[in-house]
Amino acid sequence: MLENIDVIVVEDDDDVRLGCLQALALEGVRAAGFESVEKVPRNLPHDGAFVVVSDIRLPGMDGMAFLRQLMERDADLPVILITGHGDVQMAVQAMRDGAYDFIQKPFQSREFVSVVKRALEKRSLALEVQRLRRKVAEIGGLEHRIVGRSPAIVELRELVAKLAPLSTDVMILGETGTGKELVARCLHDLSGRKGPFVALNCGGLPESLFESEIFGHEAGSFSGATRQRIGKIEHAQGGTLFLDEIESMPLAMQVKLLRVLQERSVERLGSNRLIPVDFRVIAATKADLLALSDEGKFRADLHFRLNVATITLPPLRSRPEDIPLLFDVFVQQAALRLDRPAPPIKDSVVRELLAHKWPGNVRELRNQAERYVLGLKGAPGTHDAEPVSLTATVDAFERGLIVEELRRHGGNLSRAAEALHIPKTTLFGKIRKYEIQGEDS
Protein backbone atom coordinates (compact mmCIF):
# COMPACT_ATOMS: atom_id res chain seq x y z
CA MET A 1 0.00 0.00 0.00
CA LEU A 2 2.88 2.38 0.77
CA GLU A 3 5.06 1.47 -2.21
CA ASN A 4 6.59 4.51 -3.93
CA ILE A 5 5.22 6.88 -1.25
CA ASP A 6 7.38 9.87 -0.27
CA VAL A 7 5.35 11.21 2.69
CA ILE A 8 2.93 9.77 5.26
CA VAL A 9 0.55 12.38 6.69
CA VAL A 10 -1.30 11.54 9.94
CA GLU A 11 -3.94 14.20 10.68
CA ASP A 12 -7.46 13.75 12.09
CA ASP A 13 -8.75 17.04 10.63
CA ASP A 14 -10.04 16.06 7.20
CA ASP A 15 -9.57 19.55 5.71
CA VAL A 16 -6.00 19.93 6.97
CA ARG A 17 -5.08 16.42 5.84
CA LEU A 18 -6.56 16.99 2.37
CA GLY A 19 -4.81 20.37 2.09
CA CYS A 20 -1.46 18.77 2.93
CA LEU A 21 -1.92 16.00 0.38
CA GLN A 22 -2.96 18.44 -2.36
CA ALA A 23 -0.04 20.79 -1.69
CA LEU A 24 2.39 17.90 -1.92
CA ALA A 25 0.76 16.49 -5.06
CA LEU A 26 1.10 19.84 -6.83
CA GLU A 27 4.87 19.67 -6.15
CA GLY A 28 5.12 16.10 -7.46
CA VAL A 29 5.55 14.62 -3.97
CA ARG A 30 3.70 11.33 -3.52
CA ALA A 31 1.85 11.16 -0.20
CA ALA A 32 -0.67 9.01 1.68
CA GLY A 33 -2.96 10.33 4.41
CA PHE A 34 -4.38 8.68 7.54
CA GLU A 35 -6.74 10.01 10.21
CA SER A 36 -5.03 8.20 13.10
CA VAL A 37 -1.84 6.36 13.99
CA GLU A 38 -3.83 3.15 14.25
CA LYS A 39 -4.74 3.40 10.55
CA VAL A 40 -1.09 3.60 9.44
CA PRO A 41 0.18 0.19 8.18
CA ARG A 42 2.43 -1.45 10.74
CA ASN A 43 4.88 -2.95 8.26
CA LEU A 44 6.60 0.30 7.31
CA PRO A 45 9.89 -0.52 5.51
CA HIS A 46 12.97 0.21 7.63
CA ASP A 47 14.89 1.54 4.62
CA GLY A 48 12.00 3.40 3.00
CA ALA A 49 12.83 6.76 1.42
CA PHE A 50 9.90 8.56 3.04
CA VAL A 51 9.18 11.00 5.88
CA VAL A 52 6.33 11.14 8.38
CA VAL A 53 4.18 14.20 9.11
CA SER A 54 1.97 13.84 12.18
CA ASP A 55 -0.28 16.06 14.23
CA ILE A 56 0.57 16.02 17.92
CA ARG A 57 -3.04 15.79 19.09
CA LEU A 58 -4.70 12.72 17.61
CA PRO A 59 -7.44 10.30 18.65
CA GLY A 60 -5.94 7.13 20.11
CA MET A 61 -2.13 7.25 20.10
CA ASP A 62 -0.95 10.86 20.03
CA GLY A 63 1.86 12.29 17.92
CA MET A 64 4.43 12.24 20.74
CA ALA A 65 3.90 8.54 21.40
CA PHE A 66 4.01 7.87 17.64
CA LEU A 67 7.31 9.77 17.44
CA ARG A 68 8.85 7.62 20.19
CA GLN A 69 7.64 4.47 18.44
CA LEU A 70 9.14 5.57 15.12
CA MET A 71 12.46 6.56 16.71
CA GLU A 72 12.77 3.14 18.34
CA ARG A 73 12.51 1.38 14.97
CA ASP A 74 14.49 3.90 12.87
CA ALA A 75 16.31 6.79 14.55
CA ASP A 76 17.17 8.33 11.16
CA LEU A 77 13.54 8.63 10.00
CA PRO A 78 12.57 12.33 9.68
CA VAL A 79 9.35 13.07 11.60
CA ILE A 80 7.66 16.47 11.27
CA LEU A 81 5.07 17.37 13.89
CA ILE A 82 2.07 19.64 13.35
CA THR A 83 1.32 21.67 16.46
CA GLY A 84 -1.50 23.88 17.67
CA HIS A 85 -1.01 27.28 19.30
CA GLY A 86 -0.61 25.83 22.79
CA ASP A 87 1.67 22.92 21.80
CA VAL A 88 4.94 24.78 21.18
CA GLN A 89 6.56 23.58 24.41
CA MET A 90 5.55 20.04 23.53
CA ALA A 91 7.04 20.48 20.06
CA VAL A 92 10.35 21.68 21.53
CA GLN A 93 10.46 18.54 23.67
CA ALA A 94 9.70 16.49 20.56
CA MET A 95 12.75 18.00 18.84
CA ARG A 96 14.86 16.85 21.80
CA ASP A 97 13.32 13.40 21.43
CA GLY A 98 14.40 13.15 17.79
CA ALA A 99 11.77 14.94 15.68
CA TYR A 100 13.17 16.54 12.53
CA ASP A 101 11.06 19.71 12.72
CA PHE A 102 7.64 21.05 13.67
CA ILE A 103 5.20 23.36 11.94
CA GLN A 104 2.54 25.40 13.71
CA LYS A 105 -1.10 25.73 12.63
CA PRO A 106 -2.24 27.60 10.67
CA PHE A 107 0.53 27.29 8.07
CA GLN A 108 0.98 28.19 4.43
CA SER A 109 1.22 25.40 1.83
CA ARG A 110 4.54 26.76 0.59
CA GLU A 111 6.02 26.64 4.09
CA PHE A 112 4.73 23.10 4.64
CA VAL A 113 6.10 21.78 1.32
CA SER A 114 9.49 23.43 1.94
CA VAL A 115 9.90 21.69 5.30
CA VAL A 116 8.86 18.34 3.82
CA LYS A 117 11.29 18.63 0.89
CA ARG A 118 14.21 19.39 3.23
CA ALA A 119 13.25 16.34 5.28
CA LEU A 120 13.16 14.17 2.13
CA GLU A 121 16.64 15.37 1.18
CA LYS A 122 17.88 14.49 4.67
CA ARG A 123 16.30 11.05 4.43
CA SER A 124 17.84 10.41 1.02
CA LEU A 125 21.28 11.41 2.32
CA ALA A 126 20.91 9.21 5.43
CA LEU A 127 19.97 6.19 3.30
CA GLU A 128 22.95 6.77 1.02
CA VAL A 129 25.27 6.91 4.05
CA GLN A 130 23.75 3.66 5.33
CA ARG A 131 24.27 2.04 1.94
CA LEU A 132 27.92 3.12 1.82
CA ARG A 133 28.50 1.87 5.36
CA ARG A 134 27.01 -1.51 4.44
CA LYS A 135 29.20 -1.62 1.37
CA VAL A 136 32.34 -0.86 3.40
CA ALA A 137 31.32 -3.54 5.91
CA GLU A 138 30.76 -6.05 3.10
CA ILE A 139 34.15 -5.30 1.58
CA GLY A 140 35.72 -5.90 4.98
CA GLY A 141 33.59 -9.03 5.21
CA LEU A 142 35.25 -10.48 2.12
CA GLU A 143 37.91 -11.93 4.41
CA HIS A 144 35.18 -13.94 6.13
CA ARG A 145 33.65 -15.10 2.85
CA ILE A 146 36.74 -15.68 0.68
CA VAL A 147 38.93 -17.25 3.34
CA GLY A 148 42.69 -17.48 3.12
CA ARG A 149 45.99 -15.67 3.69
CA SER A 150 47.91 -16.87 0.65
CA PRO A 151 49.04 -14.26 -1.91
CA ALA A 152 46.61 -15.75 -4.45
CA ILE A 153 43.60 -15.24 -2.17
CA VAL A 154 44.67 -11.77 -1.05
CA GLU A 155 44.97 -10.86 -4.74
CA LEU A 156 41.56 -12.45 -5.43
CA ARG A 157 39.82 -10.40 -2.73
CA GLU A 158 41.37 -7.20 -4.08
CA LEU A 159 40.22 -8.03 -7.61
CA VAL A 160 36.66 -8.84 -6.47
CA ALA A 161 36.44 -5.54 -4.58
CA LYS A 162 37.76 -3.70 -7.65
CA LEU A 163 35.41 -5.32 -10.19
CA ALA A 164 32.25 -5.50 -8.05
CA PRO A 165 30.98 -1.91 -8.52
CA LEU A 166 31.63 -1.93 -12.28
CA SER A 167 28.89 -2.79 -14.77
CA THR A 168 31.17 -4.90 -16.94
CA ASP A 169 30.45 -8.62 -17.42
CA VAL A 170 32.84 -11.04 -15.71
CA MET A 171 34.19 -14.49 -16.54
CA ILE A 172 35.23 -16.72 -13.62
CA LEU A 173 37.64 -19.56 -14.40
CA GLY A 174 38.38 -22.38 -12.03
CA GLU A 175 38.30 -26.09 -11.39
CA THR A 176 35.27 -27.79 -9.90
CA GLY A 177 34.88 -26.90 -6.23
CA THR A 178 37.09 -23.79 -6.19
CA GLY A 179 34.20 -21.48 -5.23
CA LYS A 180 33.05 -19.90 -8.49
CA GLU A 181 29.49 -19.26 -7.30
CA LEU A 182 30.75 -17.84 -3.99
CA VAL A 183 32.88 -15.30 -5.87
CA ALA A 184 29.94 -14.49 -8.17
CA ARG A 185 27.73 -13.79 -5.14
CA CYS A 186 30.40 -11.57 -3.60
CA LEU A 187 30.59 -9.59 -6.85
CA HIS A 188 26.82 -9.14 -6.80
CA ASP A 189 26.59 -8.26 -3.09
CA LEU A 190 29.26 -5.57 -3.45
CA SER A 191 27.91 -4.23 -6.75
CA GLY A 192 25.20 -2.04 -5.27
CA ARG A 193 22.72 -3.50 -7.77
CA LYS A 194 19.22 -3.63 -6.29
CA GLY A 195 17.95 -6.53 -8.40
CA PRO A 196 18.28 -10.23 -7.53
CA PHE A 197 21.13 -12.68 -7.96
CA VAL A 198 19.78 -15.24 -10.45
CA ALA A 199 21.82 -18.43 -10.88
CA LEU A 200 21.46 -20.89 -13.76
CA ASN A 201 23.48 -24.07 -14.12
CA CYS A 202 23.82 -24.48 -17.87
CA GLY A 203 24.89 -28.10 -17.44
CA GLY A 204 21.84 -29.05 -15.39
CA LEU A 205 19.14 -28.37 -17.98
CA PRO A 206 18.00 -30.56 -20.88
CA GLU A 207 18.33 -28.72 -24.21
CA SER A 208 14.57 -28.93 -24.80
CA LEU A 209 13.89 -26.76 -21.72
CA PHE A 210 16.85 -24.43 -22.00
CA GLU A 211 15.29 -21.75 -24.21
CA SER A 212 12.13 -21.45 -22.11
CA GLU A 213 14.13 -21.39 -18.86
CA ILE A 214 16.49 -18.60 -19.86
CA PHE A 215 14.35 -16.51 -22.23
CA GLY A 216 10.83 -17.26 -20.92
CA HIS A 217 7.71 -17.96 -22.97
CA GLU A 218 4.16 -16.78 -23.60
CA ALA A 219 1.11 -18.93 -22.91
CA GLY A 220 0.40 -21.22 -25.86
CA SER A 221 3.83 -20.74 -27.44
CA PHE A 222 4.36 -24.51 -27.47
CA SER A 223 2.61 -27.67 -26.33
CA GLY A 224 2.29 -27.63 -22.55
CA ALA A 225 2.87 -23.87 -22.20
CA THR A 226 -0.41 -23.18 -20.42
CA ARG A 227 0.70 -19.89 -18.90
CA GLN A 228 3.27 -17.17 -19.32
CA ARG A 229 6.73 -17.76 -17.85
CA ILE A 230 9.35 -15.12 -17.03
CA GLY A 231 12.81 -16.35 -18.01
CA LYS A 232 15.99 -16.11 -15.96
CA ILE A 233 17.29 -13.11 -17.94
CA GLU A 234 14.13 -11.08 -17.40
CA HIS A 235 13.99 -12.13 -13.75
CA ALA A 236 17.52 -10.72 -13.30
CA GLN A 237 16.27 -7.17 -14.06
CA GLY A 238 18.41 -4.70 -12.13
CA GLY A 239 20.57 -7.52 -10.76
CA THR A 240 23.02 -10.24 -11.78
CA LEU A 241 22.62 -13.32 -13.99
CA PHE A 242 25.10 -16.04 -13.04
CA LEU A 243 25.64 -18.63 -15.78
CA ASP A 244 27.52 -21.57 -14.29
CA GLU A 245 29.13 -24.20 -16.55
CA ILE A 246 28.66 -21.85 -19.51
CA GLU A 247 30.60 -24.35 -21.65
CA SER A 248 27.55 -26.65 -21.49
CA MET A 249 25.20 -24.14 -23.14
CA PRO A 250 23.82 -25.50 -26.43
CA LEU A 251 25.26 -23.76 -29.50
CA ALA A 252 21.80 -22.65 -30.68
CA MET A 253 21.27 -20.89 -27.33
CA GLN A 254 24.70 -19.29 -27.50
CA VAL A 255 23.66 -17.38 -30.63
CA LYS A 256 20.53 -16.05 -28.92
CA LEU A 257 22.39 -15.18 -25.72
CA LEU A 258 24.98 -13.23 -27.71
CA ARG A 259 22.20 -11.12 -29.25
CA VAL A 260 20.67 -10.48 -25.81
CA LEU A 261 24.04 -9.40 -24.42
CA GLN A 262 24.59 -7.02 -27.32
CA GLU A 263 21.11 -5.46 -27.26
CA ARG A 264 20.31 -5.86 -23.53
CA SER A 265 16.77 -6.89 -24.42
CA VAL A 266 15.03 -10.25 -24.42
CA GLU A 267 12.20 -11.73 -26.48
CA ARG A 268 10.08 -14.44 -24.89
CA LEU A 269 9.21 -17.55 -26.89
CA GLY A 270 5.96 -16.93 -28.75
CA SER A 271 6.30 -13.14 -28.57
CA ASN A 272 7.48 -10.48 -31.01
CA ARG A 273 8.03 -7.84 -28.32
CA LEU A 274 11.54 -6.94 -27.17
CA ILE A 275 11.75 -6.34 -23.41
CA PRO A 276 14.64 -4.11 -22.27
CA VAL A 277 16.57 -5.69 -19.38
CA ASP A 278 19.26 -4.10 -17.22
CA PHE A 279 21.39 -6.94 -15.91
CA ARG A 280 25.00 -7.96 -15.43
CA VAL A 281 26.31 -11.33 -16.56
CA ILE A 282 28.81 -13.36 -14.58
CA ALA A 283 29.76 -16.57 -16.38
CA ALA A 284 31.77 -19.41 -14.89
CA THR A 285 33.57 -22.33 -16.48
CA LYS A 286 36.07 -25.03 -15.68
CA ALA A 287 36.88 -25.51 -19.37
CA ASP A 288 39.22 -23.76 -21.80
CA LEU A 289 36.63 -21.92 -23.89
CA LEU A 290 39.20 -20.83 -26.47
CA ALA A 291 40.15 -24.46 -27.09
CA LEU A 292 36.47 -25.39 -27.32
CA SER A 293 36.02 -22.56 -29.82
CA ASP A 294 38.82 -23.99 -31.97
CA GLU A 295 37.00 -27.33 -31.88
CA GLY A 296 33.70 -25.72 -32.87
CA LYS A 297 32.08 -26.57 -29.53
CA PHE A 298 31.75 -23.01 -28.25
CA ARG A 299 31.16 -19.78 -30.14
CA ALA A 300 34.29 -17.63 -30.25
CA ASP A 301 32.26 -14.41 -30.49
CA LEU A 302 30.35 -15.27 -27.29
CA HIS A 303 33.60 -16.13 -25.55
CA PHE A 304 35.10 -12.75 -26.42
CA ARG A 305 31.86 -10.97 -25.48
CA LEU A 306 31.83 -12.54 -22.00
CA ASN A 307 35.55 -12.46 -21.41
CA VAL A 308 35.84 -8.72 -20.68
CA ALA A 309 37.10 -9.10 -17.12
CA THR A 310 38.48 -12.44 -15.94
CA ILE A 311 38.89 -13.87 -12.46
CA THR A 312 40.94 -17.06 -12.18
CA LEU A 313 40.45 -19.09 -9.01
CA PRO A 314 43.49 -21.03 -7.79
CA PRO A 315 43.07 -24.74 -7.01
CA LEU A 316 43.40 -25.64 -3.34
CA ARG A 317 46.57 -27.67 -3.93
CA SER A 318 48.35 -24.50 -5.09
CA ARG A 319 47.69 -22.67 -1.81
CA PRO A 320 48.40 -25.24 0.90
CA GLU A 321 49.07 -22.53 3.50
CA ASP A 322 45.31 -21.83 3.46
CA ILE A 323 44.26 -25.41 4.13
CA PRO A 324 44.55 -25.43 7.99
CA LEU A 325 42.65 -22.12 8.26
CA LEU A 326 39.92 -23.23 5.86
CA PHE A 327 39.50 -26.58 7.60
CA ASP A 328 39.19 -24.89 10.99
CA VAL A 329 36.55 -22.48 9.63
CA PHE A 330 34.59 -25.34 8.03
CA VAL A 331 34.76 -27.40 11.22
CA GLN A 332 33.36 -24.51 13.26
CA GLN A 333 30.57 -23.92 10.71
CA ALA A 334 29.67 -27.60 10.55
CA ALA A 335 29.63 -27.91 14.36
CA LEU A 336 27.28 -24.93 14.61
CA ARG A 337 25.00 -26.22 11.85
CA LEU A 338 24.88 -29.77 13.23
CA ASP A 339 24.61 -28.60 16.86
CA ARG A 340 27.67 -30.61 17.88
CA PRO A 341 30.86 -29.67 19.71
CA ALA A 342 33.75 -28.78 17.41
CA PRO A 343 36.45 -31.45 17.88
CA PRO A 344 40.04 -30.22 18.34
CA ILE A 345 42.22 -30.41 15.23
CA LYS A 346 45.36 -32.37 15.97
CA ASP A 347 48.72 -31.77 14.33
CA SER A 348 48.55 -35.19 12.70
CA VAL A 349 45.26 -34.18 11.06
CA VAL A 350 46.83 -30.99 9.69
CA ARG A 351 49.74 -32.98 8.24
CA GLU A 352 47.28 -35.36 6.61
CA LEU A 353 45.34 -32.45 5.12
CA LEU A 354 48.51 -30.84 3.73
CA ALA A 355 49.65 -34.08 2.11
CA HIS A 356 46.37 -34.56 0.24
CA LYS A 357 46.11 -33.17 -3.34
CA TRP A 358 42.42 -32.14 -3.05
CA PRO A 359 41.06 -32.89 -6.53
CA GLY A 360 37.67 -31.64 -5.33
CA ASN A 361 39.22 -28.42 -4.02
CA VAL A 362 37.45 -26.34 -1.35
CA ARG A 363 34.19 -28.25 -1.74
CA GLU A 364 35.97 -31.51 -0.90
CA LEU A 365 37.67 -29.89 2.10
CA ARG A 366 34.31 -28.61 3.38
CA ASN A 367 32.81 -32.10 3.10
CA GLN A 368 35.75 -33.59 4.97
CA ALA A 369 35.33 -31.03 7.73
CA GLU A 370 31.69 -32.09 8.16
CA ARG A 371 32.73 -35.75 8.26
CA TYR A 372 35.34 -34.83 10.87
CA VAL A 373 32.70 -33.18 13.08
CA LEU A 374 30.43 -36.21 12.71
CA GLY A 375 33.31 -38.59 13.46
CA LEU A 376 32.61 -40.66 10.35
CA LYS A 377 34.97 -43.30 9.05
CA GLY A 378 37.26 -41.93 6.36
CA ALA A 379 37.41 -38.43 7.84
CA PRO A 380 40.87 -36.91 8.44
CA GLY A 381 42.58 -38.54 11.40
CA THR A 382 40.51 -41.76 11.21
CA HIS A 383 42.58 -43.68 8.67
CA ASP A 384 44.31 -46.89 9.75
CA ALA A 385 47.34 -46.14 7.61
CA GLU A 386 50.60 -44.82 9.01
CA PRO A 387 50.52 -41.11 9.97
CA VAL A 388 51.74 -38.75 7.28
CA SER A 389 55.40 -37.98 7.74
CA LEU A 390 56.81 -34.49 8.15
CA THR A 391 58.79 -34.96 4.92
CA ALA A 392 55.62 -35.73 2.94
CA THR A 393 53.90 -32.71 4.47
CA VAL A 394 56.80 -30.39 3.60
CA ASP A 395 56.97 -31.81 0.05
CA ALA A 396 53.24 -31.22 -0.44
CA PHE A 397 53.55 -27.67 0.87
CA GLU A 398 56.55 -26.91 -1.35
CA ARG A 399 54.84 -28.38 -4.39
CA GLY A 400 51.81 -26.18 -3.77
CA LEU A 401 53.92 -23.02 -3.53
CA ILE A 402 55.69 -23.83 -6.80
CA VAL A 403 52.43 -24.54 -8.60
CA GLU A 404 50.97 -21.24 -7.36
CA GLU A 405 53.96 -19.17 -8.50
CA LEU A 406 53.97 -20.86 -11.90
CA ARG A 407 50.26 -20.07 -12.22
CA ARG A 408 50.76 -16.44 -11.22
CA HIS A 409 53.54 -15.98 -13.79
CA GLY A 410 51.86 -17.84 -16.64
CA GLY A 411 54.30 -20.77 -16.51
CA ASN A 412 57.35 -18.52 -16.89
CA LEU A 413 60.17 -20.36 -15.07
CA SER A 414 62.47 -17.36 -14.75
CA ARG A 415 59.85 -15.14 -13.11
CA ALA A 416 58.59 -17.95 -10.85
CA ALA A 417 62.14 -18.72 -9.72
CA GLU A 418 62.75 -15.05 -8.99
CA ALA A 419 59.55 -14.86 -6.93
CA LEU A 420 60.58 -17.96 -4.97
CA HIS A 421 64.16 -16.63 -4.50
CA ILE A 422 65.76 -19.78 -5.93
CA PRO A 423 67.89 -20.40 -9.06
CA LYS A 424 66.05 -21.37 -12.21
CA THR A 425 67.91 -24.70 -12.33
CA THR A 426 66.76 -25.51 -8.78
CA LEU A 427 63.17 -24.73 -9.70
CA PHE A 428 63.41 -26.92 -12.80
CA GLY A 429 64.72 -29.80 -10.67
CA LYS A 430 61.84 -29.45 -8.21
CA ILE A 431 59.31 -29.38 -11.07
CA ARG A 432 60.73 -32.74 -12.24
CA LYS A 433 60.81 -34.08 -8.68
CA TYR A 434 57.17 -33.26 -8.00
CA GLU A 435 56.04 -34.18 -11.53
CA ILE A 436 54.36 -30.81 -11.99
CA GLN A 437 52.58 -30.72 -15.33
CA GLY A 438 51.28 -27.75 -17.31
CA GLU A 439 47.70 -28.50 -16.27
CA ASP A 440 48.64 -28.18 -12.59
CA SER A 441 49.43 -24.51 -12.99
Which parts of the chain sit beneath pLDDT 50? 385
**pLDDT computed for residue 38 by the predictor:** 92
| pLDDT in the model for residue 215 | 87
Interval 213-269: pLDDT, tens: 888 888 877 777 777 888 889 889 889 999 999 999 888 889 989 999 988 988 888
Q: In 3D, which of 164, 184, 153 has the Cα closest to residue 407?
A: 153
**pLDDT (tens digit per residue) in 61-73:** 998 989 988 887 7
Q: What is the pLDDT of residue 370?
A: 93
- The residue among 299, 209, 317 whose CA lies nearest residue 257 is 299
Q: Write the secondary structure of 262-308 as one string of H (helix), E (strand) and C (coil).
A: HHCEECCECCCCCEECCCEEEEEECCCHHHHHHCCCCCHHHHHHHCC
Res 438: pLDDT: 61
Closest CA to 154 of 288, 3, 366, 322: 322
pLDDT by residue (tens digit) across 305-359? 998 899 999 999 889 889 999 999 999 999 988 888 889 988 888 888 888 889 9
Query: Do the beta carbons of residue 21 and residue 33 sit within 8 Å?
Result: yes
**Could you tell me the strand order of the sheet in which 7-10 lies?**
31-34, 7-10, 51-55, 79-83, 101-104
pLDDT for position 172: 97
**List of domains in the chain:** 7-134 (3.40.50.2300), 144-312 (3.40.50.300), 316-440 (1.10.8.60)
pLDDT attached to residue 385: 46
Residue 265 identity: S
What pLDDT, on the 0 to 100 scale, is given for residue 440?
56
HEC string of 89-137 equals HHHHHHHHCCCCEEEECCCCHHHHHHHHHHHHHHHHHHHHHHHHHHHHH
What local confidence, expressed as pLDDT, does residue 414 receive?
Answer: 87
